[in-house]
Structure 1
Amino acid sequence: MPPERPLPYTGNFESPDAYIKELLNFVTTSDIFRILCGGVHILDFFTIEPGTFYAALPEEWHAFLLSCDIMRFLDLLVREDLDTFVHEGEHQPPESLIAYIRKVRELSLDRKFIPKDKELPELPRIVAVGMKPKKIHEVCSFADYVTQLSSDIKGQLGGEITHFVDFGSGQNYLGRALASEPYNRHVVAVEGRDHNVSSAKELDMMSGVALKPQMQRNKKLWKQIKAIVGPDGLKDRALVDKAIEEVVGVSDIEFRPMSQIEGKYEYQDGKGHVQYISGRLDSGDLTEVILEIDKHRVVEEEEKKRELKLMAVSIHSCGNLSHFGIRSLLMNPDIRAVAIVGCCYNLLTEKLGPPTYKQPYLRPTLQAVNGRVVRESAKFDPRASQ
């Protein structure tokens, strides 16, 4: 079922349009917000004179901020009742600071997450390999959410979601969880970095999502090969292959590390499946990705005729990936739903011009310390003409 409010805003707004209007007014008129939200790099505190603290923040805030304990200040930002807050120190928070905090709170979306089931399914240990507790929490929560969402919209779509398309899948923690018990869903992982795909496939074999190929190993022969190439020669594939040919000749014995060996992905009834598609997305048009799904599906004739019903999903989708994911719903008939948790919104490119990463009076030339801002500033929305 859809939520009661299309947007989870917390303030007393008459409608989503009223909220958006007030939000746009604030972010385009508040210089402090525009400077601090994505416009300050950590190195700016060491490379700008006067320091960013003094240059960006109102002078009347300085005394209180310098005297307030950092944890106490964090409580003031996100937890304390602003109407009753009293600082025990010499300096009290200025009214303008309280007003700024109140406004940001009012315009902040509700971040509370309450799963329908009090206890979410636990990830098997072999699936959670490589994840820290924070990542496990995120993957468990989001995997359960998108699965529940697909069930909720099943009636509207006339059938189940056939595939989850994961934008910027990275090492595919989310996709691996969705393809494993208890979800057993089909996942298409779209990732542009080859080393991430290689690492993901290695983890797939460890978790059982991919089948390990049967191979012969011989440690004694491998020791002889290492003695020939030396410790520095193991990274030279040509030198290693030459040593293998010298020691073993033609043989079925496998000497490659597991990171260089791909597992086998098979479709099985009632089991999940992962398919990797390498490439970077430059728009919301997923035509090429969808064609790849059709090409690699090895199923029965009746299954081939089944209509694709795709859901675009992504967790921590950086910059334009969120934009492309949302647009994919409009540009591709096979995409039936979108579930995205975005990040790095300051890397979104502008539709009608380059992004304004820095305020003009802080850095007129846009010459960032890390250089990335300059490169990104030359980008435009590739679909701006549509």
Structure 2
Amino acid sequence: MAPLSPLPYSDTFSDPDTYVESLLNFATSSSLFQTLCGGVHILDFFTREPDLYATVLPGSWREWLQERGVEDILDLLMRENLDQFATTSQGTIIERQQNQELPWRGGPRPPESLLCYIQDIRKHLLRRDFQPPTVPGKLGLRNAERGNLSRKIAVGMKPKKIHEVQNFAQYVDDLASEISRGTSCEITHLVDFGSGQNYLGRALASQPYHRHIVAVESKKHNIEGAKSMDITARLAEKGKLMRHKREYRSQIVALNSGKGTANGDPATPEDNLEGMSTEAVTEAMAKFSLKEADILYLNGEGKGSVQYVEHMINGADLSPVVRQIKNVSRATGDGCAVETIEKKGPGRCDNMDDLDNRKGLERPLFPRTDVHGVDLGNPPEAFNGDIHLASQEGPPADISASALSPQSLMIISLHSCGSLVHHALRSLIFTPSVTAVAVIGCCYNLMTERLGPPTYKLPTLRPCPNPRVVATSAACDPDGFPMSERQARYLHGHGEGVRLNITARMMAVQAPQNWTPASSADFFTRHFFRALLQRIFLDRGVVSVPSAADDIVGGCPTSPDAMGTEPIIIGSLRKACYTSFVSYVRGAVTKLSNNDPVRGPIIASLMSGLSDNEIADYHTRYLPRKKDLSTVWSLMAFSAGVVEAIVVVDRWLFLKEQRDVIKDAWVETVFDYQQSPRNLVVVGVKKSS
């Protein structure tokens, strides 16, 4: 079930413990790594004195880098075979007399310290190569054709999402099957944390997997959108509102009893509506109405199901979700069908047996609720021709014993943001019905901090940080990073515990191995424009000089009382704004001026009078330093792969530390890195009780 190695580390290391110790030692002892991963930011580049480029990089590096293009530098960092620079069997780069003068790509060879740093980063990166599931010993379906998503299931997905859902659905299905075979407890439900539009759940509930999915999502509009896509994909029918007309009319009359029309005739139900308030009409309509509470898809034997649960996951306690999970019918049926009851032609359904014999219909198993979701209990057995429901004591007769057995849940998640992965892993430990987890993380910058602010103060992504970002970075959250005691108590030269600030964690989601000459040139230009605009902001008084030596220059507004403490965030601009620096400045200032009613007029006033010639002059003066900025950014993105390794390893360590509960835990790749760079899944399997 688990891969041969629990972590995809380099062949340089003999076992996981050796790799983990080397990783933590390097991350806490290399000052250059700490500087490039958390110690510098692009906004700092043209506002620092002395020059940031000269401060961060050694002189020998700068001398060599000056003669190299950015593409050569990227190749050296990530693709060039370092064996040509002579390495020992232990992997330490040495000088060989016969190779000392050999050129590299028509120029001098890289400095030895740069080569050593590159090798240190490379050997501590987790391997990201992906092998298709047809490889023996690899989880996933052996028949590749079964993994292809049908057109109706792939509706709304981009190629990247199709790749992710197709491969992860195969992986999850095979993993759940392996766990069921290897333990005494069969996986009954897959609980998707942060299901969003439920792309993954829709695939797993459908052919060929037919899994029972509990889609947990905090945003109601995402749930409603997912249900609409279920209908589009023909996995569900549009819900019907059903009303008991006779009882509904009686209720209307009862609410306005004794009231008559203007000519003295008795009032009809429709007449009574005229004298009622909107709230009373709504209440009357709701009281004797029936509506699907969740759109629960009930299928035949061996078929899948989907249930949506609106819930904000903010800790390890999964009981609010577990209590809402519905047992599903095992009765024979065809395909996916929403629990609906239809009229029998133009007349009525005379009895439940007649209703049950209708093709494609089953007895409704969901709770009787009104349009507000209020439980109506068991209605009378006989109504008019709209619907006919039989009152029931206890569970419906068509639920098998297996459906009533204790639930065994497996938590899955495709790119959970921030600490949501932490909650999933802790739920495995603290929720008895959770048997396993298989989660893929992203958005490391949104993780909370367990140890509080970093031991060494470094410039943050936003100099006067957004309150939400500050809260997630500086709060001492017991569920935050690091999760493992190994990393939380790791002793090093700066003290105790591994700490990563927001900038380091944000850089960890970069994918430099996927950069092309065109794409890298594009975002290097964008970074250059933004950094240079920050210089203009400083010169024009829009932002102030730093109050401390390690603050970012120009981060905070000059007048906090007037402009608040929010950072100046420009965000995306129209493509035309990036055709020239003049267009960029004009577009950015216009957006800031129009979108912020408080600070916008102040920024517009301070930036007024700035001519196009002055803006162009800034561009001319600073353009020779664009390559320096691009070089530092490349080094930052390359180095930040180690940050991601630290985060992923911490999650694996946490599971391994729960020896009394966890049977097995590992990390492996489930996507092609070029398609989806966040391709590492963390898996944990609980011991059988």
TM-score between both structures, scaled by the size of structure 2: 0.45
SS of the counterpart of 1:103?
Answer: helix
Q: Distance between the aligned counterparts of 1:31 and 1:211, measured in 2?
A: 60
Q: Is the 8 A contact 2:423 2:479 kept in 1?
A: no
Alignment equivalent of 1:281, drawn from 304, 310, 313: 313
Q: Distance between the aligned counterparts of 2:401 and 2:326, measured in 1?
A: 14
Deviations 1:76-124 (A, max 9, x none): 2332211216632545422222212211221112212223327352111
**AA in 1 matched with 2:470:** V
Shift of 1:142: 0.9
Alignment equivalent of 2:161, drawn from 135, 138, 144: 135
Give the direction of change, closer, same or farther, for the CA distance of 1:181–1:55 in structure 2 (3 Å limit). farther
Residue of structure 2 in register with 1:257 after alignment = none
Residue of structure 1 in register with 2:452 after alignment = 354
Tell whether 2:473 aligns with 1:377. yes
Give the direction of change, closer, same or farther, for the CA distance of 1:382–1:192 in structure 2 (3 Å limit). farther
Residue of structure 1 in register with 2:407 after alignment = 308
Deviations 1:17-73 (A, max 9, x none): 221111111111223333444666554556666676555444433344454333433
Q: Is the 8 A contact 2:408 2:433 kept in 1?
A: yes
| Pairs within 5 Å for 1:186-197 | 186-197=212-223
Residue of structure 1 in register with 2:508 after alignment = none
RCO comparison, higher one (Cα < 8 Å, 6+): 2
Q: Choose 294-303 or 20-29, whichever is displaced more.
A: 294-303
Tell whether 2:124 aligns with 1:107. yes
The alignment of Structure 1 onto Structure 2 pairs a total of residues equal to 339
Q: Distance between the aligned counterparts of 1:58 and 1:135, measured in 2?
A: 42
Q: Is the 8 A contact 1:313 1:338 kept in 2?
A: yes
Residue of structure 1 in register with 2:134 after alignment = 117
Kindly report the root-mean-square deviation, in angstroms, between the aligned alpha carbons of the 2 structures.
Answer: 3.3
Give the direction of change, closer, same or farther, for the CA distance of 1:14–1:125 in structure 2 (3 Å limit). same
Q: Distance between the aligned counterparts of 1:277 and 1:46, measured in 2?
A: 49
SS of the counterpart of 1:13?
Answer: coil
**AA in 2 matched with 1:84:** Q
Shift of 1:147: 0.8
SS of the counterpart of 2:130?
Answer: coil
Alignment equivalent of 1:266, drawn from 282, 289, 297: 297
Q: Choose 121-130 or 63-72, whichever is displaced more.
A: 63-72
Q: Distance between the aligned counterparts of 1:268 and 1:6, measured in 2?
A: 37
SS of the counterpart of 1:377?
Answer: helix
**AA in 2 matched with 1:136:** I
TM-score between both structures, scaled by the size of structure 1: 0.76
**AA in 2 matched with 1:281:** I
Alignment equivalent of 1:326, drawn from 425, 432, 452: 425
Shift of 1:153: 1.5
Q: Where in structure 2 are there 5+ consecutive unaligned residues?
A: 86-102, 136-143, 242-281, 283-291, 330-364, 366-397, 486-689
Residue of structure 1 in register with 2:33 after alignment = 33
**AA in 1 matched with 2:219:** R
Tell whether 2:197 aligns with 1:152. no
Tell whether 2:10 aligns with 1:10. yes
Q: Where in structure 1 are there 5+ consecutive unaligned residues?
A: 216-249, 251-260
Q: Is the 8 A contact 2:452 2:473 kept in 1?
A: yes
SS of the counterpart of 1:293?
Answer: coil
SS of the counterpart of 1:143?
Answer: helix
Q: Is the 8 A contact 1:154 1:161 kept in 2?
A: yes
Q: Is the 8 A contact 2:215 2:308 kept in 1?
A: yes
Give the direction of change, closer, same or farther, for the CA distance of 1:74–1:295 in structure 2 (3 Å limit). same
